[in-house]
Structure 1
Amino acid sequence: MSDSHFKIGSEKPLLHEAGADAPPLQGRALISRDMHVLAAAHQLPVHNAKLLDLLAIARTYEEELLLFNPKPPEEFAKLKHLATEVADYACRDNSSLTLSHRLFLLADSGLESDKLARQANGGLRSSDYGTDLGTYTVARKLSDDEARAVLEEYLDRAPSPGEWRHFWAMVGLAAWCSYAWCIMEETRNQRPVPARKQCHQLAESHLTKALGLYGED
């Protein structure tokens, strides 16, 4: 598995700008390698692993935020409601649990340098397989085409409609978790976090996309 080169607040994505018709050969090759390694790692047995929940991690950040600001921004409350709604749908998908490699996927993103994040993700953790895929997609700021490549390469086939909507739910929840961290960090340290706007846009876009896909049933 390659380390992420995406830094929170970075001006450039790892692979290429969104909007291309398909991932470039090099980008697709990198995604293919990473996803085949991840798919193999997810076959390892899950023993004595604590459950990792993106919504719960975001709540950890929210609790810290409320210590410094009992009234978070209105945008935070709106996005939290959207994330909770999407998470409810995603839980009903009953996706299989795997050992989570989220910490490894974020090792160079800046997010896991925070003590609260390490506490939230420390130790051996299991999670919905989509947690890792969502983390990978958001941490590398992938385009929609690259995101589709992530799921296709991981599954080694075209995704079903159910897998596609679940994937976007997990991407949205990963973005929401990143946004919650940004708000917490800004409030706690009283300084702006450049990635806040970007993470808000990603979370809103991906969660709305996922909710629309669930609404098609």
Structure 2
Amino acid sequence: MNIEQARFNMIEQQIRPWNVLDHDVLDLLHVVKREQFVPQAYENLAFADVEIPLPGGEAMFNPKVEARIVQEIAVKKNEDVLEIGTGSGYMAALLAHGARHVTSVEILPETAALARANLSKAGVTNVTVEEGNGAQGWGQGTYDVIVVSGALPVLPEALVKQLKVGGRMVAILGEAPAMTCQLVKRTSETAHDAVKVFETIAKPLTGAQTPSRFTF
């Protein structure tokens, strides 16, 4: 496989048609090598329009979803980012390229170790991978940007509270087959706005709570 040709085809045939037109984002896809973050067994699918399986039943988003999220969240160099669901570390690497620092939380120790190894190999030094369940928030800090790398049935209020005022979050919400990626902006200490960015289907975030369903 000609890796650079495959990368070019991914960008031109999958990602641009999905309204990812920001030149910085498209350039970033050349800089951060996706094939370095894909499990060896799936290397031939590194640039395919599929979710790539990870240990423990998790999966990488497909490339167009990753790129669209990075474009929508538009991380700036002075910003601190919280990612929930590290997976292979690829999204953390994309976010880190534009951020001051990324704290990425992974619930599965084996996957956290894989992500640390991938990030180290790729020379990414401004990501800290922490182990635990971040589906209801993480620690006491607040962040400029939060990215949830897995679908949630509903948006937890605890995660909104970890956004700084003026901060923003991307999360895929709902249950298959009706899921939407939403861009959430915290407008004040007590309020936030959310806009639907695109529709998609993604694997649920490991550790996310399913809301109770009342039957009458």
- TMscore range, shorter length: 0.3 to 0.5
TM-score normalised per structure 2: 0.34
Structure number having the greater strand percentage: 2
Q: Which has the higher contact order (CA 8 A, sep 6+)?
A: 1
